[in-house]
Amino acid sequence: MAQQPAIEPMHQFLIHKIIQGPVFHVGGLAVDMSITNSVASMIAGAVILIAFFALTARREIVPNRGQALAESLYNIVDRVLVGPIIGHGGKPYVPYIFTLFLVILVLNLMSVVLAVGNVAGFDLTFAVTSQLAVTATLAVLTFFSVFILGFVKHGPRFLGLFWVSGMGIFGGIAMVLIEMISYFVRPLTLALRLFGNMLGGHVVMSLFGSFVVALAIVGLSGGLATLALIPSILSFAMIVGLTGLELVVAILQAFVFAALATVYLNEVVNFGHGH
Amino acid sequence: MATETQESTAAPEAKSAGLPQFDFQWWPGQIVWFLIMFLVVLLFVRLFAAPRVGGTIDARDEKISGDIADARRLKDEAEAQATAAAAETAQARAAAQRVAAEARAKAQAEVAARLAEEEATLAEKGAVAEARITKARDAAMANVAGIASDTAGIIVSKLTGKAATTAELTAARG
Protein backbone atom coordinates (compact mmCIF):
# COMPACT_ATOMS: atom_id res chain seq x y z
CA MET A 1 0.00 0.00 0.00
CA ALA A 2 1.27 3.41 -0.98
CA GLN A 3 1.95 6.03 1.65
CA GLN A 4 -1.18 7.99 2.50
CA PRO A 5 -0.74 11.62 3.52
CA ALA A 6 -2.96 12.48 6.43
CA ILE A 7 -5.92 14.73 5.65
CA GLU A 8 -5.47 17.61 8.05
CA PRO A 9 -7.38 20.68 6.87
CA MET A 10 -6.68 22.50 10.15
CA HIS A 11 -2.92 22.05 9.88
CA GLN A 12 -2.64 25.19 7.77
CA PHE A 13 -3.81 27.33 10.68
CA LEU A 14 -1.14 26.11 13.09
CA ILE A 15 1.24 28.82 14.25
CA HIS A 16 4.93 28.12 14.59
CA LYS A 17 7.84 30.33 15.46
CA ILE A 18 10.30 31.41 12.82
CA ILE A 19 12.46 33.78 14.88
CA GLN A 20 12.37 33.78 18.65
CA GLY A 21 11.59 37.23 20.00
CA PRO A 22 11.44 38.80 23.45
CA VAL A 23 8.66 37.73 25.79
CA PHE A 24 7.08 40.51 27.86
CA HIS A 25 5.09 39.78 30.96
CA VAL A 26 2.23 42.22 31.37
CA GLY A 27 0.26 41.49 34.51
CA GLY A 28 0.69 37.74 34.37
CA LEU A 29 0.08 37.67 30.60
CA ALA A 30 3.00 36.47 28.51
CA VAL A 31 3.30 38.50 25.31
CA ASP A 32 5.57 36.51 23.05
CA MET A 33 6.88 38.88 20.39
CA SER A 34 8.44 36.11 18.33
CA ILE A 35 8.12 36.31 14.58
CA THR A 36 5.72 33.49 13.81
CA ASN A 37 4.43 32.46 10.39
CA SER A 38 1.37 34.61 11.17
CA VAL A 39 3.45 37.68 12.08
CA ALA A 40 5.67 37.18 9.03
CA SER A 41 2.57 37.24 6.80
CA MET A 42 1.34 40.44 8.49
CA ILE A 43 4.69 42.14 7.92
CA ALA A 44 4.75 40.92 4.32
CA GLY A 45 1.24 42.36 3.86
CA ALA A 46 2.31 45.73 5.24
CA VAL A 47 5.39 45.74 3.00
CA ILE A 48 3.29 44.88 -0.06
CA LEU A 49 0.81 47.68 0.70
CA ILE A 50 3.48 50.30 1.33
CA ALA A 51 5.48 49.26 -1.72
CA PHE A 52 2.35 49.26 -3.89
CA PHE A 53 1.33 52.79 -2.95
CA ALA A 54 4.89 54.09 -2.97
CA LEU A 55 5.15 52.88 -6.57
CA THR A 56 1.69 53.73 -7.87
CA ALA A 57 0.63 56.93 -6.08
CA ARG A 58 1.75 59.27 -8.86
CA ARG A 59 0.29 62.67 -9.52
CA GLU A 60 -0.47 62.15 -13.22
CA ILE A 61 -3.70 63.45 -14.73
CA VAL A 62 -3.72 60.47 -17.10
CA PRO A 63 -3.00 57.44 -14.90
CA ASN A 64 -1.09 54.32 -15.86
CA ARG A 65 -2.36 50.89 -14.78
CA GLY A 66 -0.86 50.90 -11.30
CA GLN A 67 -2.10 54.41 -10.57
CA ALA A 68 -5.54 53.52 -11.92
CA LEU A 69 -5.67 50.49 -9.59
CA ALA A 70 -4.59 52.56 -6.58
CA GLU A 71 -7.19 55.20 -7.42
CA SER A 72 -9.91 52.57 -7.94
CA LEU A 73 -9.18 51.12 -4.50
CA TYR A 74 -9.31 54.59 -2.99
CA ASN A 75 -12.56 55.38 -4.81
CA ILE A 76 -14.19 52.23 -3.46
CA VAL A 77 -13.74 53.68 0.02
CA ASP A 78 -14.13 57.36 -0.79
CA ARG A 79 -16.90 57.38 -3.41
CA VAL A 80 -18.70 54.06 -2.94
CA LEU A 81 -18.73 53.83 0.86
CA VAL A 82 -17.89 56.99 2.79
CA GLY A 83 -19.32 59.52 0.33
CA PRO A 84 -22.80 58.05 -0.14
CA ILE A 85 -23.17 56.62 3.40
CA ILE A 86 -21.75 59.40 5.57
CA GLY A 87 -21.59 62.36 3.23
CA HIS A 88 -19.14 65.23 3.43
CA GLY A 89 -18.64 64.83 7.19
CA GLY A 90 -16.99 61.48 6.58
CA LYS A 91 -13.91 62.87 4.79
CA PRO A 92 -11.62 62.83 7.87
CA TYR A 93 -12.33 59.13 8.43
CA VAL A 94 -11.51 57.98 4.90
CA PRO A 95 -7.87 57.09 5.79
CA TYR A 96 -8.99 54.80 8.62
CA ILE A 97 -11.63 53.00 6.55
CA PHE A 98 -9.17 52.83 3.65
CA THR A 99 -6.55 51.24 5.91
CA LEU A 100 -9.09 48.71 7.21
CA PHE A 101 -10.06 47.82 3.65
CA LEU A 102 -6.47 47.58 2.40
CA VAL A 103 -5.16 45.50 5.33
CA ILE A 104 -8.00 42.99 5.15
CA LEU A 105 -7.84 42.92 1.35
CA VAL A 106 -4.10 42.29 1.13
CA LEU A 107 -4.09 39.64 3.87
CA ASN A 108 -7.11 37.88 2.34
CA LEU A 109 -5.68 37.95 -1.17
CA MET A 110 -2.24 36.80 0.00
CA SER A 111 -3.80 33.77 1.67
CA VAL A 112 -5.48 32.74 -1.59
CA VAL A 113 -2.96 33.84 -4.23
CA LEU A 114 0.22 32.71 -2.49
CA ALA A 115 -1.37 29.31 -1.84
CA VAL A 116 -0.29 28.49 -5.39
CA GLY A 117 3.22 28.19 -3.93
CA ASN A 118 2.06 25.18 -1.91
CA VAL A 119 1.85 23.20 -5.15
CA ALA A 120 5.60 23.55 -5.50
CA GLY A 121 6.11 22.76 -1.82
CA PHE A 122 6.73 26.32 -0.59
CA ASP A 123 4.89 27.17 2.60
CA LEU A 124 4.41 30.81 1.58
CA THR A 125 0.85 31.24 2.62
CA PHE A 126 -0.69 31.80 5.97
CA ALA A 127 -4.25 33.07 6.26
CA VAL A 128 -3.80 35.84 8.84
CA THR A 129 -7.46 36.85 8.54
CA SER A 130 -8.54 33.32 9.47
CA GLN A 131 -6.97 33.87 12.90
CA LEU A 132 -9.70 34.85 15.34
CA ALA A 133 -7.14 36.81 17.36
CA VAL A 134 -6.58 39.09 14.36
CA THR A 135 -10.20 39.52 13.22
CA ALA A 136 -11.27 40.13 16.83
CA THR A 137 -8.55 42.79 17.18
CA LEU A 138 -9.76 44.49 14.00
CA ALA A 139 -13.39 44.32 15.09
CA VAL A 140 -12.80 45.53 18.65
CA LEU A 141 -10.44 48.28 17.49
CA THR A 142 -12.95 49.52 14.93
CA PHE A 143 -16.02 49.17 17.14
CA PHE A 144 -14.58 50.91 20.17
CA SER A 145 -12.86 53.61 18.15
CA VAL A 146 -16.27 54.46 16.73
CA PHE A 147 -18.00 54.14 20.11
CA ILE A 148 -15.48 56.40 21.86
CA LEU A 149 -15.61 58.88 18.98
CA GLY A 150 -19.36 59.10 19.65
CA PHE A 151 -18.75 60.27 23.20
CA VAL A 152 -15.96 62.61 22.16
CA LYS A 153 -18.21 64.27 19.59
CA HIS A 154 -21.57 64.22 21.35
CA GLY A 155 -20.87 63.63 25.06
CA PRO A 156 -23.45 61.77 27.19
CA ARG A 157 -26.12 62.60 24.60
CA PHE A 158 -24.62 59.79 22.52
CA LEU A 159 -26.34 57.29 24.84
CA GLY A 160 -29.58 58.48 23.23
CA LEU A 161 -28.56 56.10 20.44
CA PHE A 162 -30.20 53.34 22.48
CA TRP A 163 -33.41 55.24 23.15
CA VAL A 164 -36.25 54.51 20.78
CA SER A 165 -38.78 57.34 20.93
CA GLY A 166 -42.54 56.73 20.81
CA MET A 167 -42.49 53.54 22.88
CA GLY A 168 -43.53 54.97 26.26
CA ILE A 169 -41.41 54.63 29.40
CA PHE A 170 -41.57 50.83 29.87
CA GLY A 171 -41.47 50.03 26.20
CA GLY A 172 -38.55 52.43 25.90
CA ILE A 173 -36.60 50.73 28.69
CA ALA A 174 -37.22 47.31 27.17
CA MET A 175 -36.05 48.63 23.80
CA VAL A 176 -32.89 50.07 25.37
CA LEU A 177 -31.90 46.57 26.43
CA ILE A 178 -32.59 45.14 23.00
CA GLU A 179 -30.83 48.02 21.28
CA MET A 180 -27.80 47.67 23.53
CA ILE A 181 -27.54 43.94 22.84
CA SER A 182 -27.85 44.48 19.10
CA TYR A 183 -25.25 47.28 19.32
CA PHE A 184 -22.62 45.50 21.38
CA VAL A 185 -22.93 42.29 19.40
CA ARG A 186 -21.49 44.17 16.42
CA PRO A 187 -17.77 43.55 17.18
CA LEU A 188 -18.59 39.87 17.60
CA THR A 189 -20.34 39.66 14.24
CA LEU A 190 -17.58 41.67 12.56
CA ALA A 191 -14.90 39.36 13.95
CA LEU A 192 -16.75 36.11 13.31
CA ARG A 193 -17.90 36.99 9.78
CA LEU A 194 -14.39 37.55 8.48
CA PHE A 195 -12.93 34.69 10.54
CA GLY A 196 -15.62 32.24 9.45
CA ASN A 197 -15.46 33.14 5.77
CA MET A 198 -11.71 32.80 5.53
CA LEU A 199 -11.60 29.69 7.71
CA GLY A 200 -14.34 27.91 5.80
CA GLY A 201 -12.91 28.65 2.39
CA HIS A 202 -9.43 27.50 3.32
CA VAL A 203 -10.68 24.34 5.00
CA VAL A 204 -12.71 23.37 1.94
CA MET A 205 -9.81 24.10 -0.41
CA SER A 206 -7.45 22.11 1.76
CA LEU A 207 -9.88 19.18 1.88
CA PHE A 208 -10.24 19.05 -1.89
CA GLY A 209 -6.46 19.38 -2.22
CA SER A 210 -6.03 16.39 0.05
CA PHE A 211 -8.55 14.44 -2.02
CA VAL A 212 -6.58 15.13 -5.19
CA VAL A 213 -3.39 13.65 -3.75
CA ALA A 214 -4.95 10.83 -1.73
CA LEU A 215 -7.18 9.60 -4.56
CA ALA A 216 -4.40 9.93 -7.12
CA ILE A 217 -2.13 7.75 -4.97
CA VAL A 218 -4.89 5.15 -4.71
CA GLY A 219 -5.59 5.42 -8.43
CA LEU A 220 -1.93 4.96 -9.39
CA SER A 221 -1.77 1.62 -7.51
CA GLY A 222 -3.38 0.05 -10.59
CA GLY A 223 -6.23 -2.38 -11.19
CA LEU A 224 -9.79 -1.41 -10.42
CA ALA A 225 -8.45 1.32 -8.10
CA THR A 226 -7.49 3.27 -11.25
CA LEU A 227 -11.10 4.53 -11.22
CA ALA A 228 -10.12 6.65 -8.20
CA LEU A 229 -8.31 8.97 -10.66
CA ILE A 230 -11.73 10.27 -11.80
CA PRO A 231 -12.71 11.82 -8.43
CA SER A 232 -9.12 12.97 -8.07
CA ILE A 233 -9.40 14.97 -11.29
CA LEU A 234 -12.86 16.23 -10.31
CA SER A 235 -11.45 17.41 -6.99
CA PHE A 236 -8.74 19.28 -8.84
CA ALA A 237 -11.39 20.98 -10.99
CA MET A 238 -13.21 21.88 -7.78
CA ILE A 239 -10.05 23.52 -6.43
CA VAL A 240 -9.75 25.64 -9.56
CA GLY A 241 -13.36 26.77 -9.18
CA LEU A 242 -13.03 27.29 -5.44
CA THR A 243 -9.92 29.39 -5.88
CA GLY A 244 -11.92 31.77 -8.06
CA LEU A 245 -14.71 31.80 -5.49
CA GLU A 246 -12.23 32.42 -2.68
CA LEU A 247 -10.79 35.39 -4.58
CA VAL A 248 -14.29 36.85 -4.72
CA VAL A 249 -14.82 36.13 -1.02
CA ALA A 250 -11.45 37.68 -0.16
CA ILE A 251 -12.36 40.94 -1.90
CA LEU A 252 -15.99 40.88 -0.77
CA GLN A 253 -15.18 40.34 2.91
CA ALA A 254 -12.73 43.24 2.90
CA PHE A 255 -15.45 45.37 1.31
CA VAL A 256 -18.11 44.16 3.77
CA PHE A 257 -15.92 44.90 6.77
CA ALA A 258 -15.14 48.38 5.49
CA ALA A 259 -18.81 48.97 4.59
CA LEU A 260 -20.05 47.97 8.05
CA ALA A 261 -17.38 50.10 9.73
CA THR A 262 -18.61 53.01 7.56
CA VAL A 263 -22.23 52.36 8.55
CA TYR A 264 -21.30 52.31 12.24
CA LEU A 265 -19.25 55.46 11.82
CA ASN A 266 -22.19 57.14 10.10
CA GLU A 267 -24.31 56.77 13.25
CA VAL A 268 -21.68 58.78 15.10
CA VAL A 269 -20.92 61.44 12.50
CA ASN A 270 -24.57 62.07 11.62
CA PHE A 271 -25.88 61.43 15.13
CA GLY A 272 -29.28 63.05 15.63
CA HIS A 273 -29.79 63.77 11.91
CA GLY A 274 -31.14 60.51 10.59
CA HIS A 275 -32.94 59.11 13.64
CA MET B 1 4.56 4.24 9.00
CA ALA B 2 1.35 3.49 10.80
CA THR B 3 2.59 5.18 13.95
CA GLU B 4 3.62 8.23 11.96
CA THR B 5 0.11 8.74 10.62
CA GLN B 6 -1.36 8.17 14.01
CA GLU B 7 0.93 10.75 15.56
CA SER B 8 0.21 13.44 13.02
CA THR B 9 -3.54 13.02 13.29
CA ALA B 10 -3.53 12.71 17.03
CA ALA B 11 -1.26 15.65 17.74
CA PRO B 12 -3.64 18.56 16.97
CA GLU B 13 -6.51 16.80 18.71
CA ALA B 14 -4.48 16.48 21.84
CA LYS B 15 -3.45 20.15 21.71
CA SER B 16 -6.74 21.97 21.60
CA ALA B 17 -9.31 19.39 20.58
CA GLY B 18 -10.42 21.71 17.76
CA LEU B 19 -9.34 24.82 15.91
CA PRO B 20 -5.73 25.94 16.24
CA GLN B 21 -7.17 29.49 16.37
CA PHE B 22 -8.32 28.82 19.94
CA ASP B 23 -4.79 28.07 21.09
CA PHE B 24 -4.60 31.19 23.25
CA GLN B 25 -0.84 31.14 23.80
CA TRP B 26 -0.44 32.84 20.40
CA TRP B 27 -3.08 35.52 20.94
CA PRO B 28 -1.13 38.26 22.79
CA GLY B 29 1.82 38.20 20.38
CA GLN B 30 -0.43 38.17 17.31
CA ILE B 31 -2.59 41.00 18.65
CA VAL B 32 0.37 43.23 19.49
CA TRP B 33 2.10 42.55 16.19
CA PHE B 34 -1.11 43.10 14.30
CA LEU B 35 -1.72 46.42 16.06
CA ILE B 36 1.82 47.51 15.22
CA MET B 37 1.38 46.50 11.56
CA PHE B 38 -2.04 48.17 11.39
CA LEU B 39 -0.72 51.37 12.93
CA VAL B 40 2.21 51.49 10.50
CA VAL B 41 -0.11 51.04 7.52
CA LEU B 42 -2.58 53.56 8.99
CA LEU B 43 0.16 56.18 9.39
CA PHE B 44 1.41 55.48 5.89
CA VAL B 45 -2.10 55.79 4.45
CA ARG B 46 -2.98 58.85 6.56
CA LEU B 47 0.24 60.73 5.78
CA PHE B 48 1.06 59.58 2.27
CA ALA B 49 -1.28 57.29 0.33
CA ALA B 50 -4.69 58.87 1.03
CA PRO B 51 -3.68 62.53 0.51
CA ARG B 52 -1.61 61.62 -2.55
CA VAL B 53 -4.21 59.42 -4.27
CA GLY B 54 -7.23 61.44 -3.12
CA GLY B 55 -5.50 64.70 -4.04
CA THR B 56 -4.70 63.41 -7.51
CA ILE B 57 -8.30 62.32 -8.05
CA ASP B 58 -9.61 65.70 -6.85
CA ALA B 59 -7.08 67.53 -9.00
CA ARG B 60 -8.17 65.52 -12.03
CA ASP B 61 -11.86 66.21 -11.33
CA GLU B 62 -11.10 69.91 -10.95
CA LYS B 63 -9.10 69.91 -14.17
CA ILE B 64 -11.87 68.16 -16.08
CA SER B 65 -14.64 70.41 -14.74
CA GLY B 66 -12.42 73.45 -15.33
CA ASP B 67 -11.73 72.37 -18.89
CA ILE B 68 -15.42 71.76 -19.50
CA ALA B 69 -16.27 75.19 -18.07
CA ASP B 70 -13.60 76.76 -20.31
CA ALA B 71 -14.95 74.93 -23.33
CA ARG B 72 -18.49 76.02 -22.49
CA ARG B 73 -17.38 79.63 -22.05
CA LEU B 74 -15.50 79.57 -25.36
CA LYS B 75 -18.52 78.05 -27.07
CA ASP B 76 -20.75 80.80 -25.66
CA GLU B 77 -18.26 83.40 -26.80
CA ALA B 78 -18.10 81.91 -30.28
CA GLU B 79 -21.88 81.81 -30.44
CA ALA B 80 -22.09 85.45 -29.40
CA GLN B 81 -19.55 86.35 -32.05
CA ALA B 82 -21.47 84.36 -34.64
CA THR B 83 -24.68 86.19 -33.70
CA ALA B 84 -22.91 89.54 -33.96
CA ALA B 85 -21.45 88.58 -37.30
CA ALA B 86 -24.86 87.50 -38.55
CA ALA B 87 -26.35 90.84 -37.43
CA GLU B 88 -23.56 92.72 -39.17
CA THR B 89 -24.09 90.73 -42.33
CA ALA B 90 -27.81 91.43 -42.24
CA GLN B 91 -27.11 95.14 -41.73
CA ALA B 92 -24.62 95.21 -44.56
CA ARG B 93 -27.06 93.38 -46.82
CA ALA B 94 -29.82 95.84 -46.00
CA ALA B 95 -27.48 98.75 -46.73
CA ALA B 96 -26.41 97.19 -49.98
CA GLN B 97 -30.02 96.60 -50.97
CA ARG B 98 -30.86 100.19 -50.17
CA VAL B 99 -27.96 101.48 -52.22
CA ALA B 100 -28.92 99.20 -55.07
CA ALA B 101 -32.54 100.34 -54.91
CA GLU B 102 -31.44 103.98 -54.91
CA ALA B 103 -29.15 103.45 -57.84
CA ARG B 104 -31.88 101.67 -59.73
CA ALA B 105 -34.39 104.42 -59.00
CA LYS B 106 -31.91 107.05 -60.10
CA ALA B 107 -31.14 105.19 -63.28
CA GLN B 108 -34.83 104.76 -64.00
CA ALA B 109 -35.45 108.44 -63.42
CA GLU B 110 -32.62 109.34 -65.78
CA VAL B 111 -33.90 106.98 -68.39
CA ALA B 112 -37.40 108.41 -68.05
CA ALA B 113 -36.08 111.98 -68.31
CA ARG B 114 -34.06 111.24 -71.39
CA LEU B 115 -36.94 109.35 -72.90
CA ALA B 116 -39.23 112.33 -72.35
CA GLU B 117 -36.63 114.66 -73.83
CA GLU B 118 -36.20 112.45 -76.86
CA GLU B 119 -39.96 112.21 -77.25
CA ALA B 120 -40.25 115.97 -77.06
CA THR B 121 -37.58 116.40 -79.68
CA LEU B 122 -39.24 113.83 -81.87
CA ALA B 123 -42.63 115.47 -81.40
CA GLU B 124 -41.18 118.85 -82.35
CA LYS B 125 -39.51 117.42 -85.40
CA GLY B 126 -42.75 115.64 -86.29
CA ALA B 127 -44.69 118.88 -85.98
CA VAL B 128 -42.21 120.70 -88.19
CA ALA B 129 -42.36 117.93 -90.74
CA GLU B 130 -46.14 117.91 -90.66
CA ALA B 131 -46.28 121.65 -91.19
CA ARG B 132 -43.94 121.26 -94.15
CA ILE B 133 -46.05 118.44 -95.55
CA THR B 134 -49.23 120.48 -95.15
CA LYS B 135 -47.60 123.41 -96.89
CA ALA B 136 -46.33 121.23 -99.69
CA ARG B 137 -49.68 119.62 -100.06
CA ASP B 138 -51.42 123.00 -100.19
CA ALA B 139 -48.89 124.12 -102.75
CA ALA B 140 -49.40 120.93 -104.67
CA MET B 141 -53.13 121.29 -104.46
CA ALA B 142 -52.84 124.86 -105.77
CA ASN B 143 -50.71 123.63 -108.64
CA VAL B 144 -53.23 120.88 -109.34
CA ALA B 145 -55.95 123.60 -109.99
CA GLY B 146 -53.62 125.34 -112.41
CA ILE B 147 -52.74 122.13 -114.13
CA ALA B 148 -56.42 121.21 -114.31
CA SER B 149 -57.27 124.63 -115.85
CA ASP B 150 -54.38 124.33 -118.27
CA THR B 151 -55.29 120.77 -119.15
CA ALA B 152 -58.97 121.68 -119.54
CA GLY B 153 -57.97 124.66 -121.77
CA ILE B 154 -55.79 122.44 -123.90
CA ILE B 155 -58.50 119.77 -124.10
CA VAL B 156 -61.13 122.42 -124.98
CA SER B 157 -58.87 123.94 -127.62
CA LYS B 158 -58.15 120.57 -129.10
CA LEU B 159 -61.81 119.57 -129.15
CA THR B 160 -63.35 122.84 -130.20
CA GLY B 161 -60.49 124.44 -132.02
CA LYS B 162 -60.78 127.58 -129.99
CA ALA B 163 -59.31 128.47 -126.64
CA ALA B 164 -61.55 128.82 -123.64
CA THR B 165 -61.29 131.83 -121.47
CA THR B 166 -59.92 131.76 -117.99
CA ALA B 167 -63.27 132.70 -116.54
CA GLU B 168 -64.95 129.83 -118.30
CA LEU B 169 -62.30 127.40 -117.09
CA THR B 170 -62.59 128.53 -113.51
CA ALA B 171 -66.37 128.25 -113.67
CA ALA B 172 -66.08 124.78 -115.19
CA ARG B 173 -63.73 123.63 -112.44
CA GLY B 174 -66.42 124.51 -109.99
Q: pLDDT by residue (tens digit) across A30-50? A: 888 888 888 888 999 999 999
Q: Do A15 and B22 touch (CB under 8 A)?
A: no
Average pLDDT over residues A185-189: 92
CB proximity A179 to B under 8 Å: no
Of A50, A95, A137, the CB nearest to B46: A95
Pairing assessment for the beta strands A17-19 and A23-26 based on DSSP bridges: unpaired
Q: What is the mean pLDDT of residues A105-131?
A: 80
Task: With 0.90 as the threshold, say if the pTM is over it.
Answer: no
Residues in A 187-246 with any Cβ partner in B closer than 8 A: 195, 199
Please name the member of A6, A14, A137 whose beta carbon is closest to the beta carbon of B20. Answer: A14
Least Cα separation, residue B78 to chain A (angstroms): 28
Q: What is the pLDDT of residues A81-92, one digit of tens each?
A: 998 998 888 889
Label residue B81 exposed, middle or buried (CB < 10 Å: 0-12, 13-18, 19+). Answer: exposed
- pLDDT of residue B105 exceeding 70: yes
Contact present, A165 and A109 (Cβ < 8 Å): no
pLDDT band at residue B10 using 50, 70 and 90 as cut-offs: very low
Chain B residues near any Cβ of chain A (below 8 Å): 1, 5, 8-9, 12, 19-23, 25-35, 37-38, 40-42, 44-46, 48-50, 52-57, 59-60, 63
Sign of CA dihedral A208, A213, A214, A218: positive
Q: Which residue in the set B21, B40, B56 is minimally distant from A46, CB to CB?
A: B40
Q: B38: nearest CA in chain A?
A: A103
Nearest to A264 by CA among A176, A130, A161: A161
Rounded distance between C-alpha atoms, residue B65 and residue A61, angstroms: 13
Instruction: Write down the pLDDT at residue A63.
Output: 85
**Residue contact A102–B41, C-beta within 8 A:** yes
What pLDDT score was predicted for residue B9? 42
Q: Is A38 on the interface with B (CB under 8 A)?
A: yes
What pLDDT, on a 0 to 100 scale, did the predictor assign at position B173?
66
A103 min Cα distance to partner chain B (Å): 7
Domain boundaries, chain A: 23-269
